[in-house]
Amino acid sequence: MKKISFKKFYDEYGVFAILLVMIIIFSIATPTFLTGANIINISKQVAIMAILSVGMTFVLISGGGGIELSMGSVVSLVVVLISKFVTENNMGIGVSMLIAVIVATALGFLDGVVIAKIKVPPLIMTLGMQIFLYGFTYTICDGKPVYGIPASLTWIGQTYLFNVIPVSALLMIIIIILGQFFLSKMYVGRDLFAVGSNEDTANLSGINADRIRIMAYTLCGTLVGIAGIVMLGRIGSGQPSAGDGYEMDVLTGCVLGGVSLNGGKGNAVKAFCGILIIGVLSNGMSLLGFDPFMQKMVKGIVLILAVVVDSLQNIKLKKKVKVLN
Amino acid sequence: MAEHKVVLSLKNISKHYPGVQALDNVSIDFREGEVHCLVGENGAGKSTLIKMISGADQPDSGIIEFNGKMYNAMTPKLSQELGIDVVYQEFNLAEDLSVAENLYIGQKIGDQKLFDLKELKARADKVFEEMEVDIDTTEIVRYLSVSYMQFVEIAKALSKNIKVLILDEPTAPLTEDEVQKLLNIVRKLKQQNYVVIYISHRLPELFEIGDRITVLRDGKLITTGTIDQFNTPKLIKNMVGREMSYDYPKRQHEIGDIVFEAKHILSEKVHDISFSVRRGEILGIGGLVGAGRTELLRAIYGADLRYEGEIYLEGKKVKIDKPSDAVKLKIGFITEDRKREGLLLEDTICHNISLPILKKISKNGVVNKHEEKLIAEKESDELNIKAPSIETVAGSLSGGNQQKVVIAKWLAANCKVLFMDEPTRGVDVGAKQEIYKLLNYLASSGLAIVMISSEMEELMGMAERIIVLHEGKMAGEVQRREFSQEKIMQYSSGIM
């Protein structure tokens, strides 16, 4: 039998293993965990994060310090924009959603252009965007939530297909599958990996690295827009704080799912598993009666531990190479 | 020159790297108060010699004697303690710190616990005073000119109470005026009884500054003597005279029409260079390291900014502003640093080969994996890449096979013109032969190849014509029937 090193196993299946272990532990610890109702509940809870994680995965793979910190702010903006369009401007639901997604896409495009062409570090660009949009969203709604959303807008967040599958979860699964298809089967997806793992090689091989990066941020923007629609459907009112802090949970999930912060490496399905780990952890701990502060502590520890195990492997690997040389 | 005391002495130093005997039983004495020049072609062993002295690498055999004490090898720490320092071509400065801070980086000034800027500045000023260089030591290094950065490097060495100073190509980045300033500093160091080991490709300045010259070739010491025993022709004769150690495979195919032509290429490092290459021809680009060879190809390829210049492909003027334009026109570029610029090391052979053609083999944006595999298999077989399968990770291959993967990539892209920068760097002797044969095969199948090489014999063995660059300018063109090492070396040194 072929021997697989721990490192390789951890790289390939680590996130699945952690998720599985967690599910087993919670199933034993509380009888309510592994029930149909609870599973549906978890899938609703993670839907928004999971859609965002596909966008974050694109951006992280693009390399050059790629990161998107304005996701939460854009989600809030989308939520408030649609609410205002529909309740105050009497615009159609479809048109409102379309415009909001276009705005989110344009913001992603803007991030991409500034990052790729002017070489502003992604961390700074998207952090600046986050802060600006936070202020902007609160300004356009006077700091007050927008109420009076019609029921037709909330179906995406609150209805079930065949009375079982939440629409939001279905959308999430479709987006993850499309995202992974894009990454592994389409040539632009392959170009994205090439740019992220070695920009010079990619450029000299005729790939326009700047254009690929801009595309990654733009697609991410579109996905953030869609996540915003799901968010509005779920909360049912235009809350300017709807998306606050989401980017950090998404980033945590992606890192748990093995998406490299150095670019060139990542997988939308595994990133989803990372998100699920966070979702399962929150849900399980809530069922067990952990308070939110305890939950935060555990989440932080899980994140650091996952990365520590990975880094330990790399340290050993580096030493080995040295001796060989 | 009177017989000064020998400070540093290398005895029978040998060093072997995979595929090359970098130093072969070399013995040299370095005396106090002398400027000892080291010369030799690219790859003669100068850099390796410096590494042995500075402790950056250890010799396989031989003895290094310093002030009467014998050592089997140096370590960076030991050589520092003994008072040996090297100023490399690549500066090693903290650019955002002041001149004074740079001088004493890592050293403790005084016995105070706190940082004493005044004392630091006073000491730095004193070092520059002794060098007779006028400089504001509070200036941030980033804003200095190249020559002053060079002086700061030297001052940094001097501040450490050294005895032996090694200058590696110190004048390469300097203008004529600045060179004189530098030579003055070197003269001063000589008066102050330092040992200066001076490496330069600029032969005329050696005669201005040197006391003795040692010529290396193929890792062997060819000759050592006082400066008056040499003149430029004699020096060049000693530097070249390399034996042709390989049989270069012969080719007999027809050379066709001009495929590619570059006219008046101008960039930061390249001054008005024009050349053309024909179907089936291998054009060599010679010159010393830093002469602008790589920069020339990069400027043409759109990888670096090109100020001016026209490019013609099969007689038609074409526009190349970025590498993707060149790839579309079927011009490939195999760079010198295949790990950084040629390969996706963590990706498979297959994915590396298909990189430039992903779009072409896609339908509705989806890569046709079957076709991708077929092409990768075909090129991999054609080039005889030795790997378990095309799914093998490129980073795990040997240097020669990695290079073949890069070549395969451009064959898959159906290139008409191929730029190659040091195509045999870091590959072993056997793989070199294979790559030579491969190049001939590619040329005979109609490819036009432009090849940069630092190995003169490789150029002479492979190329139909050689253009030689010197400090960014075209120094000369040599036809195959006129090939001689002296001639190329003379062009390279800018003395013809």
Q: Is residue B493 less than 8 Å (CB to CB) from chain A?
A: no
Q: Is residue B346 less than 8 Å (CB to CB) from chain A?
A: yes
Kindly indicate whether the ipTM for this predicted assembly is greater than 0.95, answering yes or no: no
Q: Is residue A2 less than 8 Å (CB to CB) from chain B?
A: no
Task: Supply the mean pLDDT for chain B.
Answer: 87
At B242 the pLDDT is 59
- Looking at residue A166, the DSSP 8-state letter turns out to be E
Q: Are residues B200 and B315 in the same domain?
A: no
Q: Are residues B333 and B194 in the same domain?
A: no
Residue of B17, B328, B357, B358 to mutate when probing chain A, most A C-beta within 10 A: B358
A203–B322 CB contact, under 8 Å: yes
- Looking at residue B143, the DSSP 8-state letter turns out to be G
A201–B344 CB contact, under 8 Å: yes
A-chain CB neighbours of B351 within 8 Å are 190
Asked whether residue B247 is domain-assigned, the answer is: no
Residue A158 clears pLDDT 80, i.e. is over it: no
Q: Are residues B175 and B273 in the same domain?
A: no
Q: Is residue B108 less than 8 Å (CB to CB) from chain A?
A: no
Query: To 5 degrees, how large is the angle CA A69–CA A70–CA A71?
Result: 95
B355–A207 CB contact, under 8 Å: yes
Q: How far is A172 from chain B (nearest CA, A)?
A: 22
B346–A197 CB contact, under 8 Å: yes
Q: How far is B367 from chain A (nearest CA, A)?
A: 5
Q: What is the pLDDT of residues B22-35, one digit of tens each?
A: 899 999 999 999 99
Average pLDDT over residues B265-281: 92
Q: How far is B147 from chain A (nearest CA, A)?
A: 29
Using DSSP's 3-state secondary structure scheme, residue B41 falls into coil
Q: Are residues B198 and B277 in the same domain?
A: no
Mind giving me the DSSP string for A120-138?
A: --HHHHHHHHHHHHHHHHH
B-chain CB neighbours of A202 within 8 Å are 344, 355
**Which CATH number fits the domain that encloses residue B107?**
3.40.50.300
Domain count, chain B: 2
Residue A315 clears pLDDT 70, i.e. is over it: no
Report whether B292 contacts B475 (CB < 8 A): no
What is each CA distance from A7 to A254, A289, A308, B90, B415, in whole angstroms? 19, 35, 12, 37, 40
Residue B4 clears pLDDT 70, i.e. is over it: yes
At B245 the pLDDT is 55
Strands B258-266 and B273-278, by their bridges, are: antiparallel
Please say which residue of B179, B214, B240 terminates a domain: B240
Q: How far is A265 from chain B (nearest CA, A)?
A: 10
Cα-only R_g, chain A: 20
| Residues, chain B | 496
Q: Are residues B288 and B204 in the same domain?
A: no
Q: Is residue B347 less than 8 Å (CB to CB) from chain A?
A: yes
At B19 the pLDDT is 67
Q: Is residue B381 less than 8 Å (CB to CB) from chain A?
A: no
> Which of B345, B346, B356 is closest, CB to CB, to A206?
B356
Which residues of B, range 243-302, sit inside 8 Å of A by Cβ?
301
What is each CA distance from A321 to A198, A317, B127, B426, in whole angstroms? 21, 6, 42, 18
Q: Is residue B344 less than 8 Å (CB to CB) from chain A?
A: yes
Asked whether residue B186 is domain-assigned, the answer is: yes
Report whether B241 contacts B263 (CB < 8 A): no
Residue A321 clears pLDDT 70, i.e. is over it: no
For the structural domain made of A43-310, what CATH number should be given? 1.10.3470
At A323 the pLDDT is 38
Q: Are residues B228 and B340 in the same domain?
A: no
More confident residue, A113 or A308: A113
Q: Are residues B200 and B302 in the same domain?
A: no
Distance of alpha carbon B251 from alpha carbon B446, whole angstroms: 12
B344–A197 CB contact, under 8 Å: yes
Q: Are residues B348 and B235 in the same domain?
A: no
B355–A201 CB contact, under 8 Å: yes
pTM of the model: 0.81
Looking at A300-314, B103-117, B183-197, which range is the least confident one? B103-117
Q: Are residues B488 and B363 in the same domain?
A: yes
Q: What is the pLDDT of residues A32-68, one digit of tens each?
A: 888 888 988 898 889 999 999 999 999 999 999 999 9
At B247 the pLDDT is 66
Average pLDDT over residues A140-151: 88
Q: Is residue B217 less than 8 Å (CB to CB) from chain A?
A: no
Q: What is the pLDDT of residues B363-380, one digit of tens each?
A: 988 999 999 999 999 999
> Which of A193, A201, A207 is closest, CB to CB, to B324?
A207
At B205 the pLDDT is 86
Asked whether residue B235 is domain-assigned, the answer is: yes
Residue B1 clears pLDDT 80, i.e. is over it: no
B-chain CB neighbours of A11 within 8 Å are none
Most confident option among A210-214, B155-159, B215-219: A210-214
Q: Is residue B355 less than 8 Å (CB to CB) from chain A?
A: yes
Strands B195-199 and B35-39, by their bridges, are: parallel
Confidence of residue A314 (pLDDT cuts 50, 70, 90): low
Q: Is residue A208 less than 8 Å (CB to CB) from chain B?
A: yes
Looking at A149-153, A211-215, A226-230, B346-350, which range is the least confident one? A149-153
Q: What is the pLDDT of residues A62-114, one digit of tens each?
A: 999 999 999 999 999 999 999 999 998 888 889 999 999 999 999 999 999 99
Report whether B260 contacts B331 (CB < 8 A): yes
Residue A161 clears pLDDT 50, i.e. is over it: yes
Asked whether residue B400 is domain-assigned, the answer is: yes
A187–B344 CB contact, under 8 Å: no
Asked whether residue B329 is domain-assigned, the answer is: yes
Q: Is residue B393 less than 8 Å (CB to CB) from chain A?
A: no
The alpha helices in chain A, defined as continuous H runs, are: 6-29, 36-61, 71-88, 93-117, 122-140, 151-158, 167-185, 187-197, 199-204, 209-235, 246-256, 268-287, 292-324
At A164 the pLDDT is 73
A-chain CB neighbours of B346 within 8 Å are 197, 264-265
Q: How far is B374 from chain A (nearest CA, A)?
A: 17
Give the strand order in the sheet containing B20-31. B20-31, B6-17, B61-66, B69-71
Q: Are residues B226 and B292 in the same domain?
A: no
By residue range, what is the domain housing residue B420? Answer: 257-493
Please say which residue of B171, B205, B240 terminates a domain: B240
Distance of alpha carbon B213 from alpha carbon B216, whole angstroms: 10
Please say which residue of B240, B268, B290 terminates a domain: B240
Average pLDDT over residues A307-314: 74
**Amino acid at the residue B483:** F
Q: Is residue B231 less than 8 Å (CB to CB) from chain A?
A: no
Asked whether residue B246 is domain-assigned, the answer is: no
B366–A186 CB contact, under 8 Å: yes
Q: How far is A185 from chain B (nearest CA, A)?
A: 6
A-chain CB neighbours of B323 within 8 Å are 203-206
At B28 the pLDDT is 93
Asked whether residue B143 is domain-assigned, the answer is: yes
Q: What is the pLDDT of residues B310-319, one digit of tens each?
A: 999 999 999 9
Residue A325 clears pLDDT 60, i.e. is over it: no
Strands B417-421 and B331-334, by their bridges, are: parallel
Q: Are residues B179 and B305 in the same domain?
A: no
> Which of B327, B340, B346 is closest, CB to CB, to A205?
B327
Q: Which residue of A has its CA nearest to B351?
A: A190
Q: HSE on the CB side for A17, CA within 13 Å?
A: 9
Q: Is residue A317 less than 8 Å (CB to CB) from chain B?
A: no
Q: Are residues B226 and B77 in the same domain?
A: yes
Q: How far is A253 from chain B (nearest CA, A)?
A: 24
